[in-house]
Amino acid sequence: MKHFISSLILTLILSTGFHLSAQQKMASISFEGQTHDFGNIKEEAGVVSYDFVFTNTGSQPLIINRVTASCGCTTPSWTKEPVPPGGKGYVKIAYNPKNRPNKFNKSATVYTNANRNVVSLRVSGNVIPKPRTIEDDYPFVIGDLRFNTNHMAFVKVFKDQKKSVSVLVVNTTDKNQTITFDMVPKHLQLTASPQTLKPNQKGTIHGSYDANMVNDWGFVVNRVMIVYNDTRDRKNLLTISATITEDFGSLSKTELAASPKIEFEEKVFNFGKMQQRTSVEHDFVFKNSGKSDLVIRKIKSSCGCTAVSPKEKVIKAGQSSSIKAIFSSGTRVGRQNKSITVITNDPKFSTVVLRVTGDVEAPKAN
């Protein structure tokens, strides 16, 4: 028994010694520190960086295989050559504070061939935002004035709704600017407040959109001309957009149950392969499986694809019809993906997107 215990102890000692010997024959990475606080840094000062210095305390060359950062704002670089025993190296962590105000705490993971082959480094600090300028708050130039946006977006507007939106403007010139408008559609009202902006004065352009006066559905875009001091320039355009839809939210359960329902046999047509300067046709067959008349409000196709509306714009309950899609390849080449948007009075699927896809082959070389 005593002989067995002695043998066991000897085995453990030898095993431990072998393990320690194996460790001693490995590289070992030892950082002087694994965290760094940049403190307060100014956003306008740009990128800051810190070198995490390490020593190879092992007996074999140390190799850094890779370093990964927790986000794109933190960029690492490091010693690429093998570091001999007793030698020093670095891992540089750079942080970009642009558009990242306030406190930050980021990490980088170092992968090596050392006995402790994964090490985590961390940088922190506080970004003091740069003072905002007129250019920051009003980045868009339209003619002589600066705007916070060049797009007055009304987003979703119900057909029986009037909606108001505003954009901000500032006069950065050295003279008064009187603002009026041209090319304004009848469904849109625009007013500038104040109408005359003094130098460095800020103002607002108010827009009112009457969807009931628009003979259209879906995404509708208009462009109006901004006129300064009665001077017209067709380059001075403000984009106006709205998505015009029906308000189905007011329908009762009974009305929803009695509503129309559009069902397509298929929503994707793959024409396979075709040659340039040829065309292909396909009928998207659909049925009104609801209980009242289905009204086709609008059919809009993307570039390269023509959609032919059905003869009937009102489809009775239980009735079927089709939308013909015609794709002309022209001089296109490669994979093609075209869409046809169908807008109806189906409260559950008022907008349906059909797709035409396939490959246009380039002409064979002679």
State how far the Cα of 288 lies from the Cα of 294, in Å rounded to an integer. 6
pLDDT of 72 reads 83
Closest CA to 309 of 290, 292, 324, 329: 324
Q: Coil, strand, or helix at residue 256? A: helix
178-209 b/e with 16+ CB inside 10 Å = b? ebbbeebeebbebebeeeebeeeeebebebeb
Percent of the chain past pLDDT 70, that is, above it, reads: 93
- Segment 316-362, tens digit of pLDDT: 999 999 999 999 999 999 999 999 999 999 999 999 999 999 999 98
Instruction: Give the pairing of strands 140-142 and 145-147.
Output: antiparallel
Give the mean pLDDT of the chain. 91
Q: Which domains does the chain have, with CATH numbers?
A: 29-128 (2.60.40.10), 134-245 (2.60.40.10), 253-361 (2.60.40.10)
Looking at the chain, list the stretches that DSSP marks H as alpha helix, in order from N- to C-terminal side: 2-24, 134-137, 253-257
State how far the Cα of 366 lies from the Cα of 359, in Å rounded to an integer. 21
Q: What residue type is 208 in one-letter code?
A: S
- Segment 72-124, tens digit of pLDDT: 888 899 999 999 999 999 999 999 999 999 999 999 999 999 988 999 999 99
Beta bridge partners of 91: 52, 78
- A 10 A CB-CB count for 228 gives 21
Rg of the chain over Cα atoms, rounded to whole angstroms, equals 34
Q: What residue type is 230 in one-letter code?
A: D
Q: What is the reported pTM?
A: 0.70
| Residue 307 confidence class, pLDDT cut points 50, 70, 90 | confident
- 10, pLDDT greater than 50: no
Q: Coil, strand, or helix at residue 253? A: helix
State how far the Cα of 282 lies from the Cα of 274, in Å rounded to an integer. 14
- 283, pLDDT greater than 90: yes
Query: Which CB contacts under 8 angstroms, 24+ apart, belong to 106-110?
Result: 106/69, 106/70, 106/71, 106/73, 106/74, 107/69, 107/70, 107/74, 108/67, 108/68, 108/69, 108/70, 108/74, 108/76, 109/67, 109/68, 110/29, 110/64, 110/67, 110/78
pLDDT of 366 reads 63
- 314, pLDDT greater than 60: yes
Closest CA to 76 of 116, 106, 115, 45: 106
| Residue 363 confidence class, pLDDT cut points 50, 70, 90 | confident
- Segment 183-225, tens digit of pLDDT: 999 999 999 999 999 999 999 999 999 999 999 999 999 999 9
- Which two tokens mark 94? 């750079």
- 9, pLDDT greater than 70: no
- Segment 128-164, tens digit of pLDDT: 999 989 999 999 999 999 999 999 999 999 999 999 9
Q: What's the rounded mean pLDDT across residues 231-238?
A: 95
State how far the Cα of 358 lies from the Cα of 274, in Å rounded to an integer. 8
Closest CA to 274 of 331, 359, 364, 335: 359
- 19, pLDDT greater than 50: no
State how far the Cα of 160 lies from the Cα of 246, in Å rounded to an integer. 8
